[in-house]
Chain A
Amino acid sequence: KTQVEQSPQSLVVRQGENCVLQCNYSVTPDNHLRWFKQDTGKGLVSLTVLVHENDKTSNGRYSATLDKDAKHSTLHITATLLDDTATYICVVGDRGSALGRLHFGAGTQLIVIP
Protein backbone atom coordinates (compact mmCIF):
# COMPACT_ATOMS: atom_id res chain seq x y z
CA LYS A 1 0.00 0.00 0.00
CA THR A 2 1.34 3.41 -0.98
CA GLN A 3 2.19 5.32 2.15
CA VAL A 4 3.10 8.63 0.48
CA GLU A 5 0.63 10.16 -1.97
CA GLN A 6 1.44 13.24 -4.01
CA SER A 7 -0.89 15.51 -5.96
CA PRO A 8 -1.28 16.59 -8.58
CA GLN A 9 0.41 13.92 -10.66
CA SER A 10 1.45 16.59 -13.15
CA LEU A 11 1.13 20.32 -13.45
CA VAL A 12 1.77 22.88 -16.18
CA VAL A 13 2.32 26.52 -15.26
CA ARG A 14 3.52 29.59 -17.09
CA GLN A 15 6.87 31.09 -16.19
CA GLY A 16 6.42 33.59 -13.38
CA GLU A 17 3.36 31.91 -11.88
CA ASN A 18 3.32 30.36 -8.41
CA CYS A 19 2.40 26.74 -7.75
CA VAL A 20 1.66 24.44 -4.82
CA LEU A 21 2.44 20.74 -4.60
CA GLN A 22 0.79 18.48 -2.06
CA CYS A 23 1.97 15.45 -0.10
CA ASN A 24 -0.17 13.25 2.14
CA TYR A 25 1.29 10.30 3.98
CA SER A 26 0.43 7.54 6.41
CA VAL A 27 3.98 6.64 7.51
CA THR A 28 4.30 6.03 11.25
CA PRO A 29 6.40 7.13 12.96
CA ASP A 30 7.08 10.20 10.83
CA ASN A 31 10.41 11.54 12.00
CA HIS A 32 10.97 13.97 9.12
CA LEU A 33 9.77 14.88 5.65
CA ARG A 34 12.01 15.92 2.81
CA TRP A 35 11.29 17.37 -0.63
CA PHE A 36 13.58 16.41 -3.50
CA LYS A 37 13.89 17.80 -7.02
CA GLN A 38 14.66 15.39 -9.86
CA ASP A 39 15.61 16.83 -13.23
CA THR A 40 14.94 14.58 -16.21
CA GLY A 41 17.55 11.84 -16.41
CA LYS A 42 19.23 12.94 -13.19
CA GLY A 43 19.36 11.95 -9.54
CA LEU A 44 17.38 13.39 -6.65
CA VAL A 45 18.55 16.59 -5.01
CA SER A 46 17.29 17.61 -1.58
CA LEU A 47 15.45 20.94 -1.45
CA THR A 48 14.36 21.14 2.15
CA VAL A 49 13.65 19.08 5.27
CA LEU A 50 10.85 19.47 7.81
CA VAL A 51 11.08 17.86 11.20
CA HIS A 52 8.73 19.36 13.74
CA GLU A 53 4.99 19.78 13.96
CA ASN A 54 3.96 22.89 11.99
CA ASP A 55 7.47 23.33 10.61
CA LYS A 56 7.94 25.87 7.85
CA THR A 57 11.08 26.15 5.77
CA SER A 58 12.28 28.41 3.02
CA ASN A 59 15.01 27.91 0.43
CA GLY A 60 14.98 30.78 -2.02
CA ARG A 61 11.82 30.51 -4.12
CA TYR A 62 10.94 27.18 -2.51
CA SER A 63 9.03 27.07 0.76
CA ALA A 64 7.44 24.13 2.51
CA THR A 65 5.09 23.41 5.39
CA LEU A 66 4.42 20.34 7.47
CA ASP A 67 1.32 19.47 9.49
CA LYS A 68 2.17 16.31 11.41
CA ASP A 69 -1.31 16.00 12.90
CA ALA A 70 -2.82 15.86 9.42
CA LYS A 71 0.25 14.05 7.97
CA HIS A 72 0.34 16.60 5.20
CA SER A 73 2.99 18.77 3.57
CA THR A 74 2.98 21.41 0.86
CA LEU A 75 5.77 22.71 -1.35
CA HIS A 76 5.31 26.20 -2.72
CA ILE A 77 7.32 27.44 -5.66
CA THR A 78 7.19 31.18 -6.18
CA ALA A 79 7.73 32.98 -9.50
CA THR A 80 8.52 29.78 -11.41
CA LEU A 81 11.39 29.63 -13.87
CA LEU A 82 11.86 27.34 -16.85
CA ASP A 83 14.58 25.54 -14.85
CA ASP A 84 11.97 24.55 -12.28
CA THR A 85 10.70 21.99 -14.81
CA ALA A 86 11.34 18.71 -12.97
CA THR A 87 9.73 16.02 -10.85
CA TYR A 88 9.30 16.91 -7.19
CA ILE A 89 9.36 13.98 -4.81
CA CYS A 90 8.11 13.90 -1.22
CA VAL A 91 9.97 11.51 1.09
CA VAL A 92 9.05 10.61 4.67
CA GLY A 93 11.67 9.17 7.00
CA ASP A 94 10.60 7.06 9.96
CA ARG A 95 13.78 7.71 11.95
CA GLY A 96 16.30 10.47 12.32
CA SER A 97 19.25 8.47 11.11
CA ALA A 98 20.30 6.19 8.27
CA LEU A 99 19.01 3.27 10.33
CA GLY A 100 15.47 4.35 9.46
CA ARG A 101 13.52 3.76 6.28
CA LEU A 102 12.67 6.34 3.65
CA HIS A 103 9.21 6.21 2.05
CA PHE A 104 9.02 7.83 -1.38
CA GLY A 105 6.09 9.37 -3.18
CA ALA A 106 5.74 8.87 -6.93
CA GLY A 107 6.35 12.57 -7.54
CA THR A 108 4.65 15.54 -9.15
CA GLN A 109 5.87 16.36 -12.64
CA LEU A 110 6.04 20.14 -13.02
CA ILE A 111 6.36 21.68 -16.45
CA VAL A 112 7.02 25.40 -16.71
CA ILE A 113 6.25 26.92 -20.10
CA PRO A 114 7.32 30.33 -21.45
Chain B
Amino acid sequence: DMKVTQMPRYLIKRMGENVLLECGQDMSHETMYWYRQDPGLGLQLIYISYDVDSNSEGDIPKGYRVSRKKREHFSLILDSAKTNQTSVYFCASSPQRGNQAPLFGEGTRLSVL
Protein backbone atom coordinates (compact mmCIF):
# COMPACT_ATOMS: atom_id res chain seq x y z
CA ASP B 1 0.00 0.00 0.00
CA MET B 2 1.66 3.23 -1.19
CA LYS B 3 1.62 5.62 1.69
CA VAL B 4 3.51 8.50 3.29
CA THR B 5 3.04 8.50 7.06
CA GLN B 6 3.68 11.53 9.23
CA MET B 7 3.99 11.49 13.00
CA PRO B 8 2.71 13.11 15.06
CA ARG B 9 -0.39 14.55 13.40
CA TYR B 10 -0.76 17.31 15.99
CA LEU B 11 1.85 18.89 18.24
CA ILE B 12 1.92 21.78 20.69
CA LYS B 13 5.28 23.08 21.87
CA ARG B 14 6.54 26.07 23.81
CA MET B 15 8.88 28.61 22.27
CA GLY B 16 12.47 27.44 22.65
CA GLU B 17 11.67 23.74 22.81
CA ASN B 18 13.06 21.29 20.27
CA VAL B 19 10.69 19.68 17.79
CA LEU B 20 11.04 16.46 15.83
CA LEU B 21 8.68 15.69 12.96
CA GLU B 22 8.93 12.24 11.41
CA CYS B 23 8.01 10.98 7.98
CA GLY B 24 8.09 7.49 6.53
CA GLN B 25 7.33 6.01 3.12
CA ASP B 26 7.09 2.42 1.94
CA MET B 27 7.70 2.90 -1.80
CA SER B 28 11.49 3.12 -1.67
CA HIS B 29 11.29 6.55 -3.31
CA GLU B 30 14.65 8.25 -3.56
CA THR B 31 13.35 11.80 -3.21
CA MET B 32 11.60 13.17 -0.16
CA TYR B 33 10.45 16.67 0.70
CA TRP B 34 9.42 18.80 3.64
CA TYR B 35 7.00 21.67 2.99
CA ARG B 36 5.07 24.05 5.19
CA GLN B 37 1.61 25.37 4.38
CA ASP B 38 0.36 28.68 5.73
CA PRO B 39 -3.00 30.35 5.08
CA GLY B 40 -3.11 32.25 1.80
CA LEU B 41 0.25 30.91 0.62
CA GLY B 42 1.28 28.04 -1.57
CA LEU B 43 3.31 25.23 -0.08
CA GLN B 44 6.86 26.35 0.58
CA LEU B 45 9.80 23.96 0.27
CA ILE B 46 11.94 23.70 3.39
CA TYR B 47 14.27 20.87 2.46
CA ILE B 48 14.58 18.25 -0.25
CA SER B 49 16.41 14.96 0.07
CA TYR B 50 17.61 13.07 -3.01
CA ASP B 51 18.59 9.96 -1.05
CA VAL B 52 20.30 8.92 2.19
CA ASP B 53 22.52 11.74 3.48
CA SER B 54 21.93 13.77 0.30
CA ASN B 55 19.92 16.75 1.45
CA SER B 56 19.54 20.23 -0.02
CA GLU B 57 18.03 23.44 1.25
CA GLY B 58 14.75 24.54 -0.18
CA ASP B 59 13.38 28.06 -0.26
CA ILE B 60 12.92 28.56 3.50
CA PRO B 61 15.49 26.41 5.37
CA LYS B 62 16.32 28.88 8.13
CA GLY B 63 15.46 27.49 11.55
CA TYR B 64 15.16 23.92 10.31
CA ARG B 65 17.40 20.95 9.74
CA VAL B 66 16.76 17.48 8.41
CA SER B 67 18.07 13.97 8.76
CA ARG B 68 17.83 11.07 6.33
CA LYS B 69 19.73 7.99 7.50
CA LYS B 70 17.44 5.47 5.80
CA ARG B 71 15.78 5.84 2.40
CA GLU B 72 12.31 5.29 3.85
CA HIS B 73 12.62 7.81 6.66
CA PHE B 74 13.04 11.62 6.64
CA SER B 75 12.98 13.78 9.76
CA LEU B 76 12.50 17.52 10.19
CA ILE B 77 14.05 19.09 13.28
CA LEU B 78 13.37 22.50 14.76
CA ASP B 79 16.04 23.46 17.27
CA SER B 80 14.55 26.00 19.66
CA ALA B 81 11.17 26.48 18.01
CA LYS B 82 9.82 29.95 17.34
CA THR B 83 6.21 31.12 17.29
CA ASN B 84 6.47 31.93 13.57
CA GLN B 85 7.11 28.24 12.93
CA THR B 86 3.50 27.50 13.81
CA SER B 87 2.22 25.92 10.63
CA VAL B 88 1.11 22.72 8.94
CA TYR B 89 4.05 20.66 7.76
CA PHE B 90 3.79 18.24 4.87
CA CYS B 91 6.16 15.49 3.89
CA ALA B 92 6.10 14.05 0.36
CA SER B 93 8.03 11.49 -1.63
CA SER B 94 8.53 10.70 -5.30
CA PRO B 95 10.76 8.52 -7.46
CA GLN B 96 13.84 10.32 -8.77
CA ARG B 97 13.10 9.66 -12.43
CA GLY B 98 9.94 10.13 -14.41
CA ASN B 99 7.08 12.52 -13.94
CA GLN B 100 5.14 10.76 -11.22
CA ALA B 101 3.19 12.99 -8.86
CA PRO B 102 4.70 13.29 -5.40
CA LEU B 103 2.77 11.40 -2.76
CA PHE B 104 1.91 13.53 0.26
CA GLY B 105 1.41 12.66 3.89
CA GLU B 106 -1.57 14.00 5.80
CA GLY B 107 0.43 16.71 7.51
CA THR B 108 1.55 17.62 11.01
CA ARG B 109 -0.18 20.61 12.57
CA LEU B 110 2.40 22.32 14.81
CA SER B 111 1.56 25.09 17.25
CA VAL B 112 4.43 26.90 18.97
CA LEU B 113 3.22 28.93 21.95
Residues of A within 8 A of B (CB): 2, 4, 31-32, 34, 36, 41-46, 49, 51, 89, 93, 96-99, 101-107
Contact = CB atoms under 8 A, between A and B. Distances in A.
Nearest to B40: A106
Interface string B1-35: 00010000000000000000000000000110001
A96 B99 CA distance: 5
B97 interface: yes
Q: Among the interface residues B50, B102, B105, B106, which one has the most CB atoms of the partner chain A within 10 A?
A: B102
A60 to B, nearest CB: 16
A113 B99 CA distance: 35
Nearest to B9: A41
A4 B97 CA distance: 24
A97 B104 contact: no
Task: Provide the main secondary structure of the chain B interface.
Answer: loop
Nearest to B107: A43
Interface of B: 4, 30-31, 35, 40-45, 50, 90, 92, 94-99, 101-102, 104-107
B102 A32 contact: no
Contacts of A32: 99
Given A101-B45, A106-B42, A43 B99 contact: no
Contacts of A107: 42
Contacts of B99: 31-32, 49, 51, 93, 96-97
Q: Which 4 A-B residue pairings sit nearest by Cβ, starting from the closest?
A: A104-B42, A43-B104, A46-B101, A98-B31
B30 A44 contact: no
Given A42-B107, A43-B107, A89 B42 contact: yes
A98 B4 contact: no
A98 B94 contact: yes
Contacts of B95: 98
Nearest to B105: A43
